[in-house]
Amino acid sequence: MKAFPKIATFCLFALSQCFFARATPNIAPQGEELLVIDNGAVKVGIDRAKGASITWLSWTAYPKNIVNIADPGRLIQQSYYAGARLDRSADGQSKDWKPWPWNPIQGGGVSSWARVNEFKRIDEKTLFGETIPKLWDMPDENATALMRQWTGFEPTMPNVVTVHCELVCSRAESDRWGPARPAHQEIPASYFTRNFSNVKSYLGDGKWRDEVQAPGPPWGRVNPPRKALACFETNGQGIAIFSPTATIHWNFGPHGAGSSDDPKSSPCVHMAPLDLVSLGPRSIYSYRYWMVVGTEAEISARLELLWQKYSAERALLRESK
């Protein structure tokens, strides 16, 4: 399998870090267990062996899994950045990821999968997971944090999945990464199969704009005016991410060549709405996003309703004692 980097931009330095694909060891998760909910229109699942990240999404018109699960850096998952960029080579930091900030990843580190504390179906419409994330740049280092996630369906909208994410930081105030500083947070980081390569921004009133980007990374940047970006396959089925708490541009683009529909293949399509947030050692950060599936017309209709209900929603940031 191949892992490839994410992009973290730190306003303190006004510098974007772009990295390219590289190989990682085969790190097949042990005891794989998929927990799903299915409302008859959409099936969504989280995986105990992959940090309780979303690893399955399909719907009636597209019964295959759309989520790329090739390595711990893919999936549909929480991903955050904080503190100073450090060279931790002496501690075993990956040579391809140095220097690097504090970067807890729900799926796992560069060559390890994250551990799950809680993993359950709350009811027929809601899944819950609590994860001890890994630091991306290290082979197998737990982040001093917890990630919680509630995954369910939007009421009266059968083709819409609602996801509530929460990060609870528990770093020492005097640790090596230092105090809070502005950084881009992926809300969420999402990776789909390569056949969903036709990317479009939703403009409102049923209108779309094509977004073209060469295979990356580096990823393209786009500012969808209605906080929704979608990717479609050749038969017209697609998925849109609606992330009203995004405050800056979104990262997007294909990776690799071809049009594979294999969730385990290296080629994929990436989308990540971004929020500019200063996460401190004891920060608690939470937000919601929505995933809408179907045709352009079906997705447009749902996005109009979601915009009316949630366009004013913002992420929450507070500090624990």
For residue 7, is pLDDT > 80?
Answer: no
For residue 133, is pLDDT > 90?
Answer: yes
For residue 182, is pLDDT > 60?
Answer: yes
7 lies in a domain? Answer: no
Residue 321: per-residue pLDDT: 78
Residue 190: per-residue pLDDT: 98
For residue 201, is pLDDT > 50?
Answer: yes
Residue 108: per-residue pLDDT: 97
Digit-coded pLDDT (tens) for 139-175: 999 999 999 999 999 999 999 999 999 999 999 999 9
CATH (domain of 190): 2.70.98
For residue 191, is pLDDT > 80?
Answer: yes
Whether 241 and 54 have beta carbons less than 8 Å apart is answered as no
Q: How confident is the model at residue 29 (pLDDT cuts 50, 70, 90)?
A: low
Please state, in angstroms and rounded to a whole number, the distance separating the CA atoms of residues 251 and 270: 8
What would you report as the CA-atom Rg of the chain, rounded to the nearest whole angstrom?
18
Q: How confident is the model at residue 86 (pLDDT cuts 50, 70, 90)?
A: very high
Please state, in angstroms and rounded to a whole number, the distance separating the CA atoms of residues 172 and 271: 32
267 lies in a domain? Answer: yes
56-66: average pLDDT: 98
Residue 27: per-residue pLDDT: 61
25 lies in a domain? Answer: no
Digit-coded pLDDT (tens) for 35-54: 999 999 999 999 999 999 99
For residue 6, is pLDDT > 80?
Answer: no
Q: How confident is the model at residue 224 (pLDDT cuts 50, 70, 90)?
A: very high
* Parent domain of 107: 33-319
Q: How confident is the model at residue 268 (pLDDT cuts 50, 70, 90)?
A: very high
Q: How confident is the model at residue 15 (pLDDT cuts 50, 70, 90)?
A: very low
Q: How confident is the model at residue 221 (pLDDT cuts 50, 70, 90)?
A: very high
> 298 by DSSP, 3-state: which?
helix
Q: Does the CA dihedral 138-218-75-250 come out positive or negative?
A: positive
Q: How many structural domains does the chain have?
A: 1
12 lies in a domain? Answer: no
28 lies in a domain? Answer: no
> 300 by DSSP, 3-state: which?
helix
210 lies in a domain? Answer: yes
11 lies in a domain? Answer: no
Task: Specify the pairing of strand 182-193 against strand 250-255.
Answer: unpaired
Please state, for a pLDDT cut of 90, what percent of the chain lies above it: 89
9 lies in a domain? Answer: no
